[in-house]
Structure 1
C-alpha cells in the first residue's frame, strides 16, 4: 500500500506520556469514505487505535451525524474547516481539519487529512516566540512608526550601533546613524508608507566609527484594516561578503537596475531569469498565473492546485534551454501537491534536493511535465512565488545541474529578493500601463492634430514622450495664425510627468491661444501667462502632494512671432532654451534672447528682441529634453544639433529626423518637443500701402485705390465687399483716430487682408445701433462681411484689420 507522507516530526513512539508536546493527527480516507490509514497522532487525539478504525467508514467519527466535510466537489483539491469529532469516550471535540485530495501514480484518489494539536500553554511569564525571534534575530531589525521615528529595535541593531533602545527610541534614522545612506533609507521608508510596497536599499548603513555595514530591506506593517501603520527595517551584515567566493548575499546595484526597466511583464520576467543565470543558477524559468490577477479585482483567495501557468521567461547556461519542455508563451499545469503549488500556497520560497520526497512525488505524479528534473541532472532547486501587494502572480524555479554545490539558505534569500523586485514591477505594470496610456491619450488630444493653414512659414514638428518609468510629461508646441499674415510659434515644457502635467499643459496651451488671439506682444503674453501659473499654483497647492510643482510652477515657454511682410521675428522666453537659427547660406547660431524667469515665480520682467530674418531661414524650437541625454553634455548636444541643421535637406521632416537621430541614441529621459520652421516672405507685389490724410473727403479716393489694386491682382469680384470694408475702417480712423493714418492691403493666397492704422491707442468696439440711431452700424457691417476682424496695439498706436476669404471669387 502506498503511504502518504506524514507530517515532519511525528514519530510512532510518541505516546500519551508526552501529551504536553505539540503533534499532528493524520489519517487517509479513500473516495468511498473508508479510513485506510490512521496515525499515532490520531490515536492520541481521538483515542481509537488503528486496528479499530482502518477499514471503517470515516463518517462514524463525526459527532451526532454532522455533515461529512469530505463530501466536496470532485474538482476541489483541498478542504479546510472546523469539524465536530467524536472521541472514543463519547466526548465532542471541535477541531480544525485540513484535507488534501491526493492521487497516486496508479490513479487512485484519496484524502489526506491533518489536524495540528497544540502543546501545553506556555507557562506565565514565558516570552512568546515572536518576541524571541525579534529580539534574538542575528539580523538588524527595527520598526519605525508613521512619523518615521524608531519604535522598536532588536539586539542586533543595538549591538551594531552600540546604542540602547532607550537611546534610539523616538529618533529618526539619520539622527541615529548620520550618513547619506541613512537619508536615502528614510526616503525609501516614506515611499513604503505612501505606496504600501516593499523597498530595497542596495547600499550600506555605516554607523559612526564602524567599518561594518548592512544592506537594507523595508517592508510595510499593516493593521487588520489593511492600512500601513509602520515600516519594518531588516538589514543583513554584508561585511566581507565581497571576498567570499560563494554567491553574494545581496543583489548588487546593477542586478537591481536590470529588473523592471519597462512596463512589459514578459520583459521583466525575462530580466529576472537573465539576472539569475548564470550568476545564481544554471537554469531558471518564470511562470505567471493564467490569467494574471488584476489589481482592480478582489483577490480570488488562496491558491489551489492544480495551477495553470504561462511560461513567461526561460534562461539556461545550455544553448537553447533544453531543460524547458514548454516554450515561452505556452501554458503548463503544475499538479496540486507539486513544490511550485506548495510554495504558492505557503507564500514563501523553499529549497529542494533531487531526492526530497516533494520532488519525488512531483516526478511520480507528472512524469511527462517533470521528467526534465532528472534528465537534466538537476540536483538542487529553489522555488520562489511571485507575489506583491497581496496578489499571487506566479512562480520562479531556479535549478543547478552544472555547479556541484547545492543552493544554500543565503541563495534562497537572494532569489527571494530578486523575485520580489520583479513581482512588484509585474504587479504595477498594468496600472502604470493604463496610466501611461491615459496620459498619452490626453497629451495627444491636447497637442495640435493638424497644423493650421498659413503661408508665412513651412513647418514640421515632432513629439517624443519620455522613456522608462518617467512617463509622459507636459511638453507642447503650437502654431497660431495671427492678424496681418503673421504666425506665432510656441514651445513649452511643464514640470513633472503624468496626467497632472498633461492637464496643466492643456490649460496653459489654451491660455496662450486666448492671449495670442488678442494680439499681445510676446513679453506681455508671457507676463499674463506667469500670472495664470501663480493663480493655478495657489488653487492646487497640496502640502502632502507627490512633489510635482503645483499648477506648473517652473514651467518654461518660448514665444515667437514672425511677420512675412517685414520678415521680422519677435521673440521672448520664460526660462526656456533659445531658438536656433540657420541662415540661407548655412550658418547656424543661437538667437540671443534674454532668458527671463520660468513661469510661476512672479515679479520679474520678460524681455523681447526683434530680428530680421532673410527668406528661407530656418528656426528650430525645442524643449530641454532634447539636450539632456545621458551620454553627453549640453555643449556636445548643441554641437550635434548644429551639425544636423547645417546639412542641406529637401524637407523639414528630414531635418527633424536628423536632429533626433543625432541627439537621441535611446528613448529620452524627458519629453521632447521639436518644431522646425522655414521662413517665407510676402513681397511687394502682394502688399500695398497708402498714406491717408485725416480728411473725410479722401474716403472715396481710398475706395478707388483699393478697387484699382484688386483689379491688378485679378480680384475684381471681391471689389464690392472690399470697398465697404475700406470705407468703414478709413472713416472710423479719420473720425476717431489720430494721424498719421495708413491703409494696407495684403493678398495672401486665398485671403485678402485690409488694415487701417492710426496713432490713437483707443480701440473701437462693436455695438448694435438702435432703430432711430444714424450711426453705430459700421463695425457690425464689417463683422458681417469679413471672415475675421479685430484690433491690435502697435508701438505707435493701433491697427484695425479685417480678413476676407477669396474662395469662390
Structure 2
C-alpha cells in the first residue's frame, strides 16, 4: 500500500488524524480487549489487553474453545446460543457477562460481540470487552461532567493549544450573548472584542506553559449580551492534560460577579465619601476668616471630587442683604477661592479671587443660586460651555482644558443662599453623578455654615474695629518738650477686636498726659467700655489731678460698666521740672530708655486693675533727661500662650537696646518682631522722647 500517496490524498486533516498519540487516552484507560473466535468457537486472536484483563497469555488461549476456557459450566449453554445467533447474522450482541479469570476469580466484563467475514467467506466472531465496573465509573464521570457543564450557572469553555474555542457551555453562551457555534474555532478577541484580550490570551499561554492555574482574575468589560453595562467577571484558567500527560488545551471558568463588584465599588465610594466629609469637618472652618474658609472648601474638593473648584459668594450676601430661597434675574458674585489639581488653562476661566463678576440669569451658576438646587451637566457639550463660563474667552479656555463635566451646588446656611461651589472635571474621565452631587452638597452645607459665621463675624468685627478706631485719638499737635509716636494693631481676623487704647492729652502749663489701657474682653462691649474710660480719663486729666487720683476715679467709674475690669498706666510729664509722675493699675511696667544705658523696666507699684475696688493707687516720680524715651504698651505686645512673660519682656528690652532710631521706626520694629499672624489679642503702643 502506498501510504505516502494515501497521506498526501488526505491532506492536512489526514495527517492530523494519522499523527501519533501518546498512551493514556480513554481507550487506554478502559483497556479494551479484542478476542476473535472462528466458526467453531475456538480462539484465533488474543490481544495483549485480553491477557491483562483475563490473565491468560496468547499461548495459553489461542486454539482453545472460548466457552471451555472462559465460561463457567452453568453459563455454557447460554454462551453457545448467543454465539450461534451472532454467527447466524442475527445481529451483534452487547451486555455484561461473567468471565472466569485465570486465577479462578469471576470478573464481570462488558462485551460488544459482532460477526466478521474475511475475503474467503469465512466467518468469525469479534468480542470487545472491558471491565464492567471501570466502564460504569467512566460513564458516570462522563455523564456527571456533561450535566455539570451543561447545567452549571458558571460559564465554562475549553480552548485548544492555539487558544481557539472547542467547547462552550450554555451559561457562557448567555454571558457572551453568542451561541456556541459562533465561538467554535474562533479566538477570544474575535468573540469578545470589548475585553482586554491581549492580557487574557497572555494569561492562557502562561497556564499552557507552566501548568499552574490562574484563579479569580478580575476582568471588567462589555459583551454583546449587554453592551451598555460594564460587567465584572471572576475568571480562572486551568491546563487540560490527557492521562498520559499530553497538553490538550486550557479550560476557563467565568463567574459573573457584577453585583459583588458593584457592591464593593459602592462600599469603596461610601468609605471615600465618609472620609472626605470627615476631612472636610476638620479642614473647613479653622478660622473665622471668610477667604480662608472658602480656600479650605476648594482645597477639600480638589482633587477628591473635581479637577478644579471655585467658591463664589453673592455680593448681596456680603453686604448683609438676605437672598430669597428662590428668585429670578442675574447675579453678582464675589470670587473667594479657586483651586486646581494641576496647572490648567481652566483656571484662567475662573473669576480671580476678590473680583466681582456679573452673571446673566441663563448662566448655570445663576440658576443654581436662584433655585437653591444643584445644577449638573454630566457630559458638557460645546453649547454648554457658554452657559458655564463668564464670556467667550473663558469658554474657549474650558474647551482647550478638556472640561467634560460640570457641577454647581448652592451654599445655603440658615435658609439663606450665600453663593455656589463650582466643580469641573477634565482629566478625571468620569462624569459627575447624583452621588457626586450629594457629596458636594454635604461639603457645601458644612462650608456654608462656616462661611456664614465668618461673614457675620467679619461684619461685627468691622463694626467694632471702626468703633474702636473712631475712639482712638487723632495725631496730637506739637507737644512741648516731647516727641511722640503711637500704634494700634487689632487682633487677627479670626479674633474679635479688644479694648486696648492709648491717649495723648496736652494739658495746661505745657504738661502732657500719656495713657495706655486695656479693657478685659473683646468685641463691641469692650470697645464701648474703652471709649467711656477714655472720655472719663480726658475729663479727669483736665482737672489737674495727680495720676493716682485719676486712676482712683476711673476705678469707681468702671464699676458700673460692662466689662468692669481694665488695666491702665497714667503718665503726667512736666517739661519744666524734667520729671514725670506715673501710676499704674495692674498694668505692665513702662520701659525707660536712656542714651548710653541699657533699657530697663521701671520698678513701680503695680496696683490692682481698675474695677477691683478698695485698693489704693500710688504715684511714682521719674526724672527724664533730654534724649530719654518712655515706652508704654499693652500686654498684647509681649504675651503669648507658649512663652513665659518674663522671657518675652527680656526680648522686648533686647529689641529696644541699640543705636538711636526714630520713634516711628521703633514702633514698626517692635510690632514686626513681637507680633505674629493669628495673635489672639490687640495691642496699643505709645513711645515718647524728651526733646532738648
- TM-score normalised by length of structure 2: 0.52
Residue of structure 2 in register with 1:558 after alignment: 569
Q: Secondary structure at the match of 1:399?
A: strand
Work out the CA distance in 1 between the residues paired with 2:482 and 2:330. 67
Aligned 8 A contact 2:289 2:454 in 1: no
Residue of structure 2 in register with 1:303 after alignment: 327
- From 485, 509, 515, give the equivalent of 2:534: 509
* Residue 403 of structure 1: how far off its partner (Å): 4.2
Work out the CA distance in 2 between the residues paired with 1:279 and 1:245. 9
* Residue 601 of structure 1: how far off its partner (Å): 1.8
* Residues 1:284 and 2:312 are matched in the alignment: no
* Residue 585 of structure 1: how far off its partner (Å): 1.4
Residue of structure 2 in register with 1:446 after alignment: 471
* Residue 382 of structure 1: how far off its partner (Å): 4.0
Residue of structure 2 in register with 1:663 after alignment: 674
Work out the CA distance in 1 between the residues paired with 2:644 and 2:438. 40
Higher normalized contact order (CA 8 Å, seq sep 6+, divided by chain length): 2
- From 642, 646, 659, give the equivalent of 2:653: 642
* Residue 577 of structure 1: how far off its partner (Å): 1.0
* Residue 425 of structure 1: how far off its partner (Å): 5.5
Aligned 8 A contact 2:349 2:395 in 1: no
Aligned 8 A contact 1:386 1:395 in 2: yes
* Residues 1:251 and 2:275 are matched in the alignment: no
- From 618, 625, 628, give the equivalent of 1:617: 628
Q: Secondary structure at the match of 1:495?
A: strand
Return closer, same or farther for 1:521/1:288 CA change in 2, 3 Å cut-off: closer
Aligned 8 A contact 1:617 1:678 in 2: yes
Work out the CA distance in 1 between the residues paired with 2:401 and 2:565. 60
* Residue 317 of structure 1: how far off its partner (Å): 2.2
CA RMSD for the aligned pairs? 4.1
- From 499, 503, 527, give the equivalent of 1:478: 503
Post-superposition Cα deviations, 1:34-80, rounded to whole Å, max 9, x if no partner, equal: xxxxxxxxxxxxxxxxxxxxxxxxxxxxxxxxxxxxxxxxxxxxxxx
Post-superposition Cα deviations, 1:477-522, rounded to whole Å, max 9, x if no partner, equal: 1223445544322101122333332222121112112222223222
Matches within 5 A, 1:16-165: none
* Residues 1:651 and 2:669 are matched in the alignment: no
* Residues 1:318 and 2:342 are matched in the alignment: yes
Higher mean C-alpha displacement, 387-396 vs 479-488: 479-488
Residue of structure 2 in register with 1:689 after alignment: none
Aligned 8 A contact 1:242 1:248 in 2: no
- From 482, 495, 499, give the equivalent of 2:524: 499
Higher mean C-alpha displacement, 560-569 vs 252-261: 252-261
Aligned 8 A contact 1:307 1:333 in 2: yes
Work out the CA distance in 2 between the residues paired with 1:364 and 1:476. 54
Work out the CA distance in 2 between the residues paired with 1:362 and 1:308. 20
Aligned 8 A contact 1:261 1:469 in 2: yes
* Residue 247 of structure 1: how far off its partner (Å): 4.8
Q: Secondary structure at the match of 2:513?
A: strand
Aligned 8 A contact 2:325 2:371 in 1: no
Aligned 8 A contact 2:379 2:431 in 1: no
Residue of structure 1 in register with 2:412 after alignment: 387
Return closer, same or farther for 1:523/1:469 CA change in 2, 3 Å cut-off: same
Work out the CA distance in 2 between the residues paired with 1:374 and 1:486. 73
Return closer, same or farther for 1:578/1:411 CA change in 2, 3 Å cut-off: farther
Residue of structure 1 in register with 2:544 after alignment: 519
Aligned 8 A contact 1:259 1:268 in 2: yes
Aligned 8 A contact 1:477 1:489 in 2: yes
Work out the CA distance in 2 between the residues paired with 1:512 and 1:465. 22
Post-superposition Cα deviations, 1:656-700, rounded to whole Å, max 9, x if no partner, equal: 22212221243643221111112357xxxxxxxxxxxxxxxxxxx
* Residue 288 of structure 1: how far off its partner (Å): 4.1
Aligned 8 A contact 1:260 1:422 in 2: no
Residue of structure 1 in register with 2:639 after alignment: 628
Aligned 8 A contact 1:583 1:616 in 2: yes
* Residue 623 of structure 1: how far off its partner (Å): 0.8
* Residues 1:608 and 2:619 are matched in the alignment: yes
Q: Secondary structure at the match of 1:493?
A: strand
Q: Secondary structure at the match of 2:677?
A: coil
Work out the CA distance in 2 between the residues paired with 1:242 and 1:611. 72
Q: Which runs of 5+ in 1 are unaligned?
A: 1-239, 538-549, 682-809
Residue of structure 1 in register with 2:108 after alignment: none
Q: Secondary structure at the match of 2:277?
A: coil
Work out the CA distance in 1 between the residues paired with 2:422 and 2:276. 19
Q: Which has the higher helix share?
A: 2
- From 586, 596, 606, give the equivalent of 2:597: 586
* Residue 471 of structure 1: how far off its partner (Å): 3.8
Residue of structure 2 in register with 1:96 after alignment: none
Aligned 8 A contact 2:547 2:571 in 1: yes
Matches within 5 A, 1:167-246: none
* Residue 634 of structure 1: how far off its partner (Å): 3.4
Q: Which runs of 5+ in 2 are unaligned?
A: 1-267
Length, aligned pairs only = 421
Q: Which has the larger radius of gyration?
A: 2
Return closer, same or farther for 1:410/1:653 CA change in 2, 3 Å cut-off: same
Return closer, same or farther for 1:621/1:314 CA change in 2, 3 Å cut-off: same
Post-superposition Cα deviations, 1:394-416, rounded to whole Å, max 9, x if no partner, equal: 32122343346676877656533
Post-superposition Cα deviations, 1:526-572, rounded to whole Å, max 9, x if no partner, equal: 121111111x23xxxxxxxxxxxx2x322111112233344333222
Q: Secondary structure at the match of 2:615?
A: coil
Residue of structure 1 in register with 2:480 after alignment: 455
* Residue 241 of structure 1: how far off its partner (Å): 12
Return closer, same or farther for 1:609/1:407 CA change in 2, 3 Å cut-off: farther
* Residue 581 of structure 1: how far off its partner (Å): 1.2
Residue of structure 1 in register with 2:555 after alignment: 530
Work out the CA distance in 1 between the residues paired with 2:686 and 2:501. 10
Aligned 8 A contact 1:260 1:271 in 2: no
* Residue 593 of structure 1: how far off its partner (Å): 1.8
* Residue 380 of structure 1: how far off its partner (Å): 5.7
Return closer, same or farther for 1:297/1:341 CA change in 2, 3 Å cut-off: closer
* Residue 446 of structure 1: how far off its partner (Å): 2.2
Aligned 8 A contact 1:629 1:664 in 2: no
* Residue 327 of structure 1: how far off its partner (Å): 4.3
Residue of structure 2 in register with 1:103 after alignment: none
Return closer, same or farther for 1:631/1:422 CA change in 2, 3 Å cut-off: farther
